[in-house]
Every structure is written in structure tokens, then in C-alpha cells.
Amino acid sequence: MKRKNRLRSGLRLAVLVSMAATGLVVAAPAQAEPLWPGGPDIPGVPAIIPPAPVVAPCTAAGARGCMRLSTNEAWLMDNGQVTYGPTPISHGRPGYRTNVGVFDVDFKREDHWSTLHHVPMKYAVFFDGDIATHIGPIEEQSHGCIRMTPDGAREFFTYLWPGDIIEVVP
């Protein structure tokens, strides 16, 4: 009988030692080093790190709209700070290039009809003659306009007003 009790005690001790070794028994709360600088102090708990600021490539003084043709992205800005974006865009195809430069918003129309191309231009914001931002398929290049998603075009239409500055960079 004593031998059985000793075996049970030995077995219990072996089980406790193996549980402690695998971390199943916690004697006190563990303090962990951050996984990376500024990372979470406790594994499994996300760090409270502010996201990196979004920066637009436009530098024109007072620009409220910014478009980069090389990456097909657009932003809305206020005093050099991004307020919306990036949002995906498409622009002019070969032979119908979108001009690069600094432009004033000329006018805007919520439901414009292109008499030149016979297509609707919802949320149109005109900034370079007959060139405008508006809803359109961003998978295809345009005849010079900046095509945007419905959300992007609506944001640009709501935010920009005649006289506001739009900058288009390569």
C-alpha cells in the first residue's frame, strides 16, 4: 500500500512539474517584453499605436484636391493635411492625356451629361476646361477626365467648391 501511495505521489509530482514546464500552471502574472519597440506589452493584446499619418504628394499652396497619376490615387486636403484618401482613380488614355499642373475648380454639377462623349458624369467637378472628376469605371482609362469610385467622387463633389485649388502631379 505504501508503495502505491509513493507511486501516486511521484506521478502527481511528475504531472505538476510537466504542467509547470509547459506553462499550464501559472504561479504569478508574467511580465513580457514588447514584441517590438512600441509593441504590445502583453502578448495577444494589440498595441495602442497611432497610425502613420497619410501624406499626399501635392505641395501647391492652398491645394484642396490632389491627384497622382502614376499611382492612380487622389486625396482631399486642408492646410496641407489629408482629410480624405487615398481613393483610387483612373485618368486619360494615350492621345487623351490628363494635364499635370495646378488648377482652379471652375464649376460642379451633381448630374452632368457629357455632350462630347454621350455619357453621364455623376458628381462632376470641372477643373481644367472640359476635364472633371466624376464617377466612372476606374479599371479603364478615360478621355482625360479623372474617373473615381462612387464614394470618392461624392467626397470630392461635396468637399470642393468653385475657386478651390486642385493639383495634379505625374
Three-state SS at 69? coil
Strand-pairing partners, residue 101, are: 168
Angle subtended at Cα 139 by Cα 165 and Cα 78, rounded to the nearest 5 degrees:
20
* Pairing verdict, β 101-104 and 81-90: unpaired
**Catalytic residue, candidates 66, 91, 134, 143:** 134
Single-letter code of the amino acid located at 47: A
Of the candidates 66, 91, 112, 145, the residue annotated as catalytic is: 145
134 is catalytic: yes
Give yes or no: 118 in active site: no
104 and 114 Cβ atoms separated by less than 8 Å: no
Q: Which residues are catalytic?
A: 134, 145
